[in-house]
Amino acid sequence: MQGSIYGYLTYFHEIVNEGSIAAAARKLEIAPPAVSNALKLLERHLGLPLFTRTTRKMELTEAGQRLFDSTRDIIQGLDSAMESVRDLTLKPSGLVRVTTSSIAYLLVVKPYFAEFCRRYPDIRLEISVNDGIVDIVKEGFDVGIRFGDRLEQNVVAKKLLDPVRLGLYASENYIRKYGKPETLQDLSRHKLLGYRFVTANRIYPLTLNQDGREILVDMPHAIVTNNVMVELDSVRQGVALGQLFEPVVNALHDREKFIPVLEKHWTQYPELFLFYMQHSQKAGRVRAWIDFLLEKTSA
């Protein structure tokens, strides 16, 4: 078989990841016929078709899926190895794909990403904000930022932030109209903003501390949302009480409008972690982002 198996497999993986030969060619910055020819040569070498083709899309055959699954880690490892060697002589450059929750974005990405871009002008950040559960391997992300340290296989976690308090807040308008709860029992006469988890499709429960133990407090919801910005706006406008992260509120330009409620009963939320594949840090562009965030959050 003429050419490089590694090269043909690289083209094959880009077709899978991008969804078409044309899109893979754009990503690789080569002509589409070169990608198409590499795929034909790979299929001829294997003696099996790797895709079923229609006028609208390409789908993996059973053989194609098996080849993709069995070579994904190998291709990623080879890519990282090649990039780590190039990094000996080149400045970090290229694309770093980051997935983060809304809260993590507000806490550790928003305050620093502009400085990172100035420090590393040859690195392009792609920041995807998603409050659902994201598999960084399957979705093709280099780094993930989430609360909790539950790990998938071959994934490394580095702590960015210690546990943070999850507080209860109200606006002056809300308190003026409905009063300020002074005890846990008072909450039965109030309404709460509900936050719905995207992946689990359930509303996050209100958990408060009572005499050293956590209890669930059942309250009616005035609004249910899956977006923290809607939560913040709803508290500002006096719609209901809001369950919000203390450091998020403290970072707001109008934080004085968010009045703490029942502060002695607040609970803590788990640590914030940065996730990445074990071999990812070998790539200079990814290592630069990891080291930068660790530097900023440990200061």
> Residues of CATH 1.10.10.10 domain(s) within the chain?
5-86
Query: Nearest Cα to 228, choosing from 166, 145, 185?
Result: 166
Within 10 angstroms of residue 26's Cβ, the number of other Cβ atoms is: 14
Residue 1 has pLDDT above 50, yes or no: no
Give me the percent of the chain exceeding a pLDDT of 90. 53
Measure the CA–CA gap between 218 and 63, rounded to whole angstroms.
51
Cα Rg of the chain (Å, integer): 24
Reported CATH class of domain 5-86: mainly alpha
Confidence of residue 85 (pLDDT cuts 50, 70, 90): low
Could you tell me where in the chain the CATH 3.40.190.10 domains are found? 94-161+271-298, 164-269
Assign 76 a pLDDT band (cuts: 50, 70, 90): confident
Q: What is the pLDDT of residues 248-260, one digit of tens each?
A: 999 999 999 999 9
Locate tokens 């895709």: which residue? 51
pLDDT band at 272 (very low <50, low <70, confident <90, very high): very high
Spatial distance between the Cα atoms of 15 and 21, rounded to a whole number of angstroms: 5
Q: What is the pLDDT of residue 168?
A: 97
Structure tokens at 15: 């077709």
Q: 94-161+271-298 domain in CATH 3.40.190.10? A: yes
> pLDDT band at residue 2, thresholds of 50, 70 and 90?
very low
State residue 57's pLDDT score: 75
Query: For residue 17, with 0-12 CB atoms within 10 Å meaning exposed, 13-18 middle and 19 or more buried, which class applies?
Result: middle
Question: Looking at the predicted structure, is the pLDDT value of residue 119 above 90?
Answer: yes
pLDDT for 149 beyond 70: no
The angle, 0 to 180 degrees and rounded to 10, between the axes of the packed helices 21-28 and 32-46 is 110
pLDDT averaged over the chain? Answer: 88
More confident residue, 187 or 55: 187
Q: Per the structure block, which two tokens stand in for 244?
A: 């919000």
What is the pLDDT confidence band of residue 89, given thresholds at 50, 70 and 90?
A: low
What is the phi-psi region of residue 93: left when phi exceeds 0, alpha when psi lies from -120 to 50, beta otherwise?
beta
SS3 of 130-154: the string is: CCCCCCCCCCCCCEEEEECCCCCCC
- Rounded Cα distance between 123 and 286, Å, is 9
3-state secondary structure of 207: strand
Q: Tokens 């809001």 correspond to what residue?
A: 242
60-72: string of b/e by CB count within 10 Å (b at 16+)?
Answer: beeebeebbeebb
Instruction: Name the phi and psi angles at 126, rounded to 5.
Output: -115, 110
- If you average pLDDT over residues 17-31, what whole number do you get? 84
164-269, what's its fold?
Answer: D-Maltodextrin-Binding Protein; domain 2 (3.40.190)
Helix, strand and coil content of the chain, in percent to the nearest 5, comes to: 45, 25, 30
pTM over 0.75: no
3-class SS letters over 19-39: CCHHHHHHHHCCCHHHHHHHH
CA–CA–CA angle 230, 236, 238 (5° rounding): 100
The reported pLDDT for the residue numbered 84 is 64
CA distance 201 to 225: 11
The predicted pLDDT at position 278 comes to 74
The region of weakest confidence among 37-46, 68-77, 185-194 is: 68-77
CA 273, CA 103: separation in Å to the nearest integer? 12
Mean pLDDT, range 196-214, rounded to an integer: 86
C-alpha closest to that of 178 among 127, 128, 219: 219
Percent of the chain predicted with pLDDT > 70? 91
